[in-house]
Structures are given as C-alpha cells and as structure tokens.
Chain A
Amino acid sequence: MTDDAPALLVANVGHRFGARAALDDVSMNVERGRFTALLGPNGAGKTTLFSVITRLYNNQSGRVAIFGHGLDREPSRALARLGVVFQARTLDTDLTVEQNLLYHASLHGIPRKAGKARIGELLDRVGLADRRGDKVRTLSGGQSRRIEIARSLVHRPDLLLLDEPTVGLDLESRADIVAIVRALVREEGLSVLWATHIFEEIRPEDDAVVLHLGRIVARGTAGTIAQGTESLEEAFRRLVAERGKRAA
C-alpha cells in the first residue's frame, strides 16, 4: 500500500455475463476525501461495477484497489476500509435498529462494547438516536436509509460506496441523506462514490464519471463535463445519445 494511492482505483475492469459485456475496459479513480458521482442511466453497469468493487463478483479482467490494497491479493484489508450502502434495502426488519447495527459491527470484528459506543455516535449523526430500540419495520423509507448509512460507517471505513441511495425517497429525506454524506466528506475526510441519476444531488466541483452501456463516456468535475451546455443533465443526455448512436 502506498500513502498516495487513491481511495479507489478501478483500472481496465471488464465484466461479462455470457456474451454480453456489462463492463468494458472501465477505468476510474475516487481520490481521497472527494465526493465522486457515478452517473449512468438504468442498465449502464453501475450496479455491476459496485458488485465488482465489493467483491460480490470477481473482477474478470483489470484491477480494483482500495487505498492501494488490491482486491485480488489483499481482499480483507481492502474490504475492511470499505463501507457500502446497497441499492436494495438490506436491513433485517424483524430486528431493532441497534441489533442490526451490532450485527454489522460483529461482521467487522468490533467488540460489543466498542460497537455500542460507536452506534450511539452514528445514530446521533443521522438524527435517529431516539429510534435505537425500535424494530426496523416501524421506520420510514428515509429513516431506514439513514440507518443503512449509519451501518455502513460502523467500522469507520475510509471509502463509502452508495448505490442510488435516494431512489424512491421524498424530497426532504433525499436532502437529509445528501447532507449527511456531504458532511462526512467535509468533516471526516471520507471518500465517497455516489451512484445516481438524480442531477440535483451533484455540485459543479464534485468529481463525476459518466457510465453508459458498460463504458466510461466522460470524466472530470461535474462543472467541466457540463461546460458548453446549460446543465449537467443536458450534457449527460447528449453524451448518452452520442454513445447510443455510435453503439447502433
């Protein structure tokens, strides 16, 4: 591991499902302490890329490294520094908030006492300290998401991956979640990869990567990608349309 290694390195990663390439020669970085947006329409390959980074799928070609720890050679060290919020809800609805979070703490080898203290801090941060003993089934969609973010932080990861975390939430819940994650980047220097297709969540100074049909079609800050167009959304639509034409 080198001290200047990026938080996440994805180099020439390809992934195939049978004959179809879900990812084709994908290379991108998440720099330390940066909020990086991964933009792409449905089916672009975002979830496949997340599955490769989280080692749910093997990277069939190319290299993935987290803070310099290659997933192929040092998976444990790499995964220990990674926190993930999956697109699908993954909390156990029959268990309480605390039981869910303690389970996650144990998955990372955190002793119960230290886990409980950390959970207290995190529930405070996501504004749900008073729901600690409640069953997850009693929470709203936005609250569950906030708990999932707290859960992903229990082991103090340095890189946080979020796969479309605000999908299906109302405006207020969406804003809460964006605010929590941005505060983590600002205050704790957390590196974040945020997959989304909601453009309002991205600021011009954020790093952004546009993925379409399994390939990277643009990268840079959101501001530079949007240059010459009215908005990032318009730039995105153009990129996707151009790539679609070329693919056809």
Chain B
Amino acid sequence: MRMRRHFDHEDSTGIDLAPMLDFVLNLLIFFIITAVFVKEVGMDVNRHGGAASGPSTAKESESISVIIKASGEVIVDDRTVDVRAVRANVERLHAQKPDWGVMVTTEQAAQSGLLVQVVDQIHQGGVDNVSFGTSSR
C-alpha cells in the first residue's frame, strides 16, 4: 500500500523546471549581450631602449639597422630606400647574416603607419626578431 502511494507521487509531478529555466535564460541573455566576436590582428615587436627595457635581446652591433625618418624616408643599412624595397634589402642582408635580428629606429615624429609597413616588410623578408626603438631626437 505504501509502495503504491510512493509511485503515485512520482507520477504526478517530478521536478519543476520552470525556476531553473528562468535562471538559465537570464544567464544566457547576459552572455549574449557581453559576447564579442572580434578577433584583433597584430604583430609582435620587441621594444628596444626606452624606460621599460631590461637587457635587450638584440645587440646593437649585431643587428640590421633600419631607420625611419620623420619625413618618411626609410634607411636600410645606411642607404635610403623605398618602403616597398625594405623587404628585398632585408632578405639580402639576412642571407648574409642569418643570425642577426633587425633593429628599427624611428624618429619620434614618424608616422605609426609607416612603422607598421616597415615591420611588415621585415617579417616578409623572413626575419621575426624585430625590435623597435625611438631615437632621442
């Protein structure tokens, strides 16, 4: 008899899912609202010199020097070149000295876009160890 009554009880209700559903829906709405699907793209550049740098990975004497002037000139290894020619020049110098990194020195007033272009060209030229510093002038 008692057994029978127990069965009856289970048959009639079970757990009430409604409060749980309310809670889960609220969580869902929160996560939908805060979801951001933007993946930012970027490039890794070591910082050379400046207030924060510890011992630098690339020694100044053992790296290919690229200088960016405020006027937009790009100087690779003491020769003024076009931005699009940086890649070829870096490739050539990299073939001569495979273990050297590249050091990019920009003037304070140079444009960031040009810096990104130059670093992109250097990456395309096959050198991943790029550090970047600013000249004091």
On whether the two chains bind one another, the answer is no
Interfacial residues, chain A to chain B (CB-CB below 8 A): none
Interfacial residues, chain B to chain A (CB-CB below 8 A): none
